[in-house]
Amino acid sequence: MANISYKDAGVDIDVGNSFVEAIKSDVKSTFDSNVIGGIGSFAGAYALPTGYREPILLSATDGVGTKLKLAIDSNRFNTVGIDLVAMCVNDLICNFGTPIFFLDYYATGKLILENAKEVVAGIAEGCREAECALIGGETAEMPGMYANSDFDLAGFAVGIAEKSELDRISNIKAGQILIALPSSGIHSNGFSLVRKLFFEKLKMSLDSDFNGQPLIDTLLTPTRIYVREFKANRDKIKALSHITGGGLIENLPRVLPDNLKAVIKQDTIRVLPIFEFMSRYIDRSEMYRTFNMGVGMVAIIDSEDVDSFCRATDGYIIGSIEKGEKGVELI
């Protein structure tokens, strides 16, 4: 009987090594002066930034969900890496953590070098946008667990914050204003419902026209990263809420005390065309508890800071904080 190799079992070590070499320039493009060492060690090393009185490390992890299935079906891999970074760093800033470094996990049935390079290039782009360093990752070729070119992604972000700034809920008072920061699209939540509606119920294709462009262009629009807006305006922000799965209804209460509610005027929300279209087939209540509806982040701001905050960003008023049982009231 002839001997067999790891490659015979479906894992190609040489391709894995080639992948590491191929992504080095993208990874190094994210490094800052705090990164210690390079690529290829057993762990990534990062020096703690100075200037903090009581520094606290924060961490966040997330994936991209079934949006990945659309990337695979369309053979377009250059945006989901941005999504991966965005979903993690946007959570960090809600706890007033400044993202400092990021790691990724890429698991696939068969490592296809060009596809994986595009994914990591997107991760590096997301890290540049978030101004954090990509200091490590893991690539796992797992035949039998994943079908051929199928893959999954997970991301891990670490940020730093002042201990005194962690408690955002105590800052919230009646009369403060809710400012919407627009989303870039569906972001990375609710894609199981998206796929069921467009491709099962409506029998549309990836190339179907939507607002003058292929539908897939809209669906794969990467999640917006809000780190720079946070850094530039943090002194005006009382709290931030990342509007992900659960929508405005379930995410805003996470930054509210028990005796205050968020009152939102629905007609002020700049609902994106993709959500208007989907609302023809999905109950509006279901839309608001599943999707961001065009609002990717909500900032709670004192009334005297609203004008300057909105001038410095693309934010706009959607409501206010009022006395009442914790929750969201859409009027």
Give the CATH number, domain containing residue 311.
3.90.650.10
For residue 99, the surrounding DSSP H or E stretch is strand 98-108
pLDDT, residue 283, reads 95
> Mean of the pLDDT values across residues 17-34?
83
In a shared domain, residues 260 and 324: yes
Rounded distance, CA 78 to CA 121, Å? 7
Instruction: Specify the pLDDT at position 19.
Output: 75
6-19 mean pLDDT: 69
pLDDT for res 22: 75
Q: What is the pLDDT of residue 9?
A: 58
Same domain, yes or no: 53 and 183: no
Long-range contacts of 281-290 (CB under 8 A, 24+ apart): 281/197, 281/201, 281/202, 282/193, 282/197, 287/247, 288/247, 288/248, 288/249, 288/330, 289/246, 289/247, 289/249, 289/250, 290/189, 290/190, 290/193, 290/245, 290/246, 290/247
Percent of the chain beyond pLDDT 70?
Answer: 97
- The torsion angles phi and psi of 88, rounded to 5 degrees, stand at -85, -50
Whether 134 and 270 share a structural domain: no
Whether 1 maps to a domain, the answer reads: no
Closest by Cα among 95, 102, 90, 106 to 27: 102
Helix/strand number for the chain, H first, E second: 11, 14
pLDDT of 254 reads 96
Question: Is residue 8 in some structural domain?
Answer: no
pLDDT confidence tier of residue 10, bands split at 50, 70 and 90: low
**Ranges 26-35, 53-62, 212-221, 306-315: which has the least confidence:** 26-35
User: Same domain for 161 and 283?
Assistant: no
pLDDT at 28 over 90: no
Among 36-50, 89-103, 190-204, name the one with the lowest average pLDDT. 36-50
Domains of the chain: total:
2
My answer on whether 123 and 156 are in the same domain is: yes
Q: Which of 120, 135, 165 is the last residue of a domain?
A: 165
Which amino acid type is present at position 77? F
H/E run at residue 307: helix 306-312
Q: What is the pLDDT of residue 40?
A: 74
In a domain, 7, yes or no: no
Q: In whole angstroms, what is the distance from residue 202 CA to residue 204 CA?
A: 5
Residue 44 has what pLDDT?
87
pLDDT, residue 42, reads 84
In this structure, the answer to whether residues 177 and 73 fall within a common structural domain is no
Q: Same structural domain for residues 293 and 193?
A: yes
pLDDT at 8: 52
Residue 79 lies in a domain: yes
Q: Give exposure, 93-104, as e/b (b: 16+ Cβ within 10 Å).
A: bbbbbbbbbbbb
Residues 49-86 have pLDDT tens digits of: 999 999 999 999 999 999 999 999 999 999 999 999 99
What is the domain-level CATH number for residue 134?
Answer: 3.30.1330.10
Asked if 256 contacts 172 with a C-beta cutoff of 8 angstroms, the reply is: yes
Query: Residue 6: is its pLDDT beyond 90?
Result: no
The answer to whether residue 209 sits within a structural domain is: yes
> To which H or E segment does residue 87 belong?
helix 80-94
Domain range for 212: 169-330
Same domain, 28 and 147: yes
Per the model's pLDDT, the better-predicted residue between 22 and 89 turns out to be 89
Q: Mean per-residue pLDDT for 249-276?
A: 96
Task: Determine the pLDDT at residue 243.
Answer: 97
Lowest mean pLDDT among 42-46, 89-93, 118-122, 172-176: 42-46
Residue 135 resides in a domain: yes
Shared-domain flag, residues 139 and 221: no
What is the per-residue pLDDT for 27?
82
Q: Domain end: 113, 140, 165, which one? A: 165
Which candidate, 246, 263, 267, 276, places its Cα nearest to that of 330?
263
One domain for residues 177 and 237? yes
Is residue 5 situated within a structural domain?
no
| Residue 319, domain member (yes or no) | yes
Q: Residue 148: what pLDDT? A: 79
Residue 17 pLDDT > 70, yes or no? Answer: yes
Instruction: Give the mean model confidence (pLDDT) for residues 223-244.
Output: 97
Higher pLDDT, 142 or 41: 142
- Of 119, 143, 165, the last residue of a domain is 165
Residue 191 and residue 62 in one domain:
no
* pLDDT at position 5: 62
Type of residue found at 151 = F
* Matching residue, tokens 């659309």: 70
Q: What is the mean pLDDT of the chain?
A: 93
User: Within this chain, do residues 149 and 223 fall inside the same structural domain, yes or no?
Assistant: no
pLDDT, residue 282, reads 96
